Amino acid sequence: MGTFNTPATENKKKLTSNLLSPLPVVLLGTLVNDRPNYMVVGYVSPFDFGRYVFLSLYKKRYTRIGLHEHKTFSLNMPSEALLKEINICGSRSGRDINKAELFDNFYGDLKTAPMIRECPLNMECELHQVLDYGENEGIIGRVVKSYADRDCLDGDKIDFRRVLPVIWATGGDFNYYRLGDRMHTDPGR
Ligand SMILES: Cc1cc2nc3c(=O)[nH]c(=O)nc-3n(C[C@H](O)[C@H](O)[C@H](O)COP(=O)(O)O)c2cc1C
């Protein structure tokens, strides 16, 4: 039985920030002016039990031009080996540099959603809905197909210890972290 008589603030400091963190770093791919372009998107989440994704996009992003033109995009999960490329894609705009040159680009079923071969996991998505949030847009995409490196698979299941995702502490110190050890083979059972 829990106790109810200690003030909430006893060991808690009240904050106003969103603490749903850490989240994986993802590279959002679009075809802009006939060239693949990639940007880091940190505010991203699966939605509708994984059938859709939800992400936040500033309207000023170069990425947005291709996303609205083709109504398709990709999400690519880089491993920590791609830290240098992540830093470029998260700080330099496709208006100023050619980010397609950083990677081996490939296309799937959608033809206008460029993906990154060096990223162990890729998803191609079609734009489903755009929510207007002033300076930002909330982008909802339907996952059409996904691709996984064979050497990151254990049977048909992805072993994230082989993916080595970069994890971003958005609600914390805004640093990157790496995934820890597996605790359970089958949570919830
Ligand atoms: C860790 C991290 C997370 C980011 N998350 C987002 C995000 O969720 N939405 C967004 O619009 N920009 C985000 N950015 C910024 C863009 O990645 C950055 O401005 C990029 O250069 C835009 O590229 P573009 O101009 O070619 O579209 C993030 C950057 C970093 C480093």
Q: Is the CB of 38 under 6 A from ligand 1?
A: no
Q: What CA–CA distance (Å, rounded) separates 147 from 149? A: 7
pLDDT tens for residues 142-156? 999 999 999 999 999
User: How far apart are the two ends of the chain, measured CA to CA in Å?
Assistant: 24
Is 23-178 a CATH 2.30.110.10 domain?
yes
The amino acid that residue 156 corresponds to is D
Q: Is the CB of 76 under 6 A from ligand 1?
A: no
Q: What CA–CA distance (Å, rounded) separates 105 from 118? A: 9
Q: Which of 40, 63, 87 for mutating ligand 1's site (highest number of atoms within 8 Å of CB)?
A: 40
Q: Is the CB of 128 under 6 A from ligand 1?
A: no
176 CA closest ligand 1 atom index: 1
Quick check: pTM over 0.75?
yes
Residue 67 token pair = 């996303």
Q: Is the CB of 42 under 6 A from ligand 1?
A: yes
- Sequence-separated (6 or more) residues with CB below 8 Å from residue 171: 17, 18, 19, 20, 21, 22
Angle at 148 between CA 146 and CA 154, to 5 degrees: 125
B/e letters for 66-89, b = 16+ CB within 10 Å, e = fewer, are bbeebbbbbbbbbbbebeebbeeb
pLDDT tens for residues 31-88? 999 999 999 999 999 999 999 999 999 999 999 999 999 999 999 999 999 999 999 9
Q: What CA–CA distance (Å, rounded) separates 108 from 67? A: 16
Q: Is the CB of 75 under 6 A from ligand 1?
A: no
DSSP-assigned beta bridge partners for residue 53: 46, 141
